Amino acid sequence: MTRVLVVSLNYRTPEMTLRSLRAALGALDGIAADVVCVDNDSGDGSYEAIRAAVEAEGLDVRVIQSGHNGGFGAGNNVGIAARMADGSAPDYVYLLNSDAFPAPGAIAALARHMEAHPEVGIAGSRIVGEDGEPHWTAFRFPSVASELEGAARVGPISRLLGAYTVPLGVPEATCPVDWLAGASMMIRQSLLDRIGGFDETFFLYFEETDLCLRAVRAGSSIHYVCESEVVHIGSVSTGMGRWQRVPGFWLDSRWHYFSKNHGRAYAMAATAAHVAGGLLWRLRVLLQDKPSTDPAHFLRDLVKHDLKAMLRPLPRPAGPQRREDHARV
C-alpha cells in the first residue's frame, strides 16, 4: 500500500493550521498516511495550542517543534526528516500550507497520479480560492527574458517573449509544468533521497522553484494534477499582499536562485533585464497616468541589493540539500 507522510508547517496561525489538518485527515481517502505538524518556532503559544487541540479532538497528528525558524524550506525539512511514525521512509511526502484545505480525496488523487506515472517526481494540486476561483500556481522557470517581460508589462514585449512568461495561467487538464507553488505539493521520497530536501539558504520564496529545477535536472517530471483540488487563502503567514516595500529576504531568495542555478553573471543579467523592463513600465505609468502597482522603491532596492550580493564571497552550502548541487554557484 502507498505510504504518504503529510507535513503541515505552522507559523503563528494555530487555528487555521488546525482547520487545515482536519481537512487533510479527511482527504486521505483510505491511503496509509502519517500526519506531522511542525511548529516553526512561533513563540506565541501556537505549539502548545495545537498540541492541546490535537489531544482533545483525538486527531491522528504528531506535533513537533522545529526549534528554530529558518523559513519555509527549513521548517518543511524538519517534517520530512520526521519520517513515518515507525521511523521508516514513506513512498511520498505531501507538503500542505497551513492556509490550504484539501477537498476530500485530494491527497489520494496526487498519490494515485504518481503511482501511475513513475517519471513524475513532484505533483501539485489545482488551487482555488475560497470563492472557488482558480489561482495561478503553475509556472515556467524564471529567466533573463522572463524578467524583462514580467517587469515591462507592455503588450508588444509580452507577445514577443510569450514563450518565456513565468505564469502559465490555469491549465485545463493535468499536464507537465516547470514548477509549482508549494501550497499543496507531493514529492517522491526516492527523489528526495537523490537530491535532498529544500535548500535552506532560501528563507521564503523561490525555494520550491529551486527544488523543482533540481528535480528536473535529476531527470524527473513535474505535473499539475487537476483531479486534486485544494482551497488556499494565501499569504496569511507571510503578509505578501500587504507589503509596502519588498523585504530583504525576498531579494535574497531571488538573487540566490539565479546565482546558484545559473551563475552570478546570469543573475546580474536578469537584474539588468528587470530594471530595463521596470523603467519601461514606469514610463508607461507616467505617460498614461496609470496607477503604479509596484512596492515603493522596488527598482532601487533591487539594484542596491544585487550589486552588494555580487561583491560578497560565495555562500557556503546550506543543508540538507545535497552538497554537489551548490557546485554550480
Residue 150 included in any domain: no
Are residues 88 and 192 both part of a single domain? yes
Look at residue 299 in the predicted model and tell me its pLDDT: 96
287: cell is: 505617460
315: cell is: 555562500
Is there a cis peptide before residue 320, judged by omega within 30 degrees of 0? yes
| Structural domain that includes position 282 | 242-316
> How many domains does the chain divide into?
2
Look at residue 323 in the predicted model and tell me its pLDDT: 39
Tell me how many degrees the CA angle 253-95-212 measures, rounded to the nearest 5: 50
C-alpha distances in Å from residue 308, one per residue of 23, 264, 271, 303? 44, 12, 13, 9
Render pLDDT for 254-279 as a digit per residue (tens, 0 to 9). Answer: 999 999 999 999 999 999 999 999 99
How far apart CA 103 and CA 32 sit, in angstroms, is 17
Render pLDDT for 184-204 as a digit per residue (tens, 0 to 9). Answer: 999 999 999 999 999 999 999
Contact 127, 232 (CB under 8 A): yes
Residue 324 included in any domain: no
Are residues 219 and 270 both part of a single domain? no
Are residues 51 and 120 both part of a single domain? yes
Look at residue 329 in the predicted model and tell me its pLDDT: 36
Mean pLDDT, the chain cut into blocks of 10 residues (329 residues total): 96 97 94 97 97 98 97 98 97 97 97 98 97 96 98 95 97 97 97 98 97 98 98 68 84 98 98 97 91 90 97 71 44
Q: What is the CATH number of the domain that holds 16?
A: 3.90.550.10
Q: Give the DSSP H or E segment for 147.
A: helix 144-152
How far apart CA 153 and CA 282 sit, in angstroms, is 10
Calculate the dihedral angle through the C-alpha atoms of 127, 130, 133, 137, rounding to the nearest 10 degrees: -30
Residue 302 included in any domain: yes
Pairing status of strand 138-139 against strand 3-10? unpaired
121: cell is: 517526481
Contact 16, 98 (CB under 8 A): yes
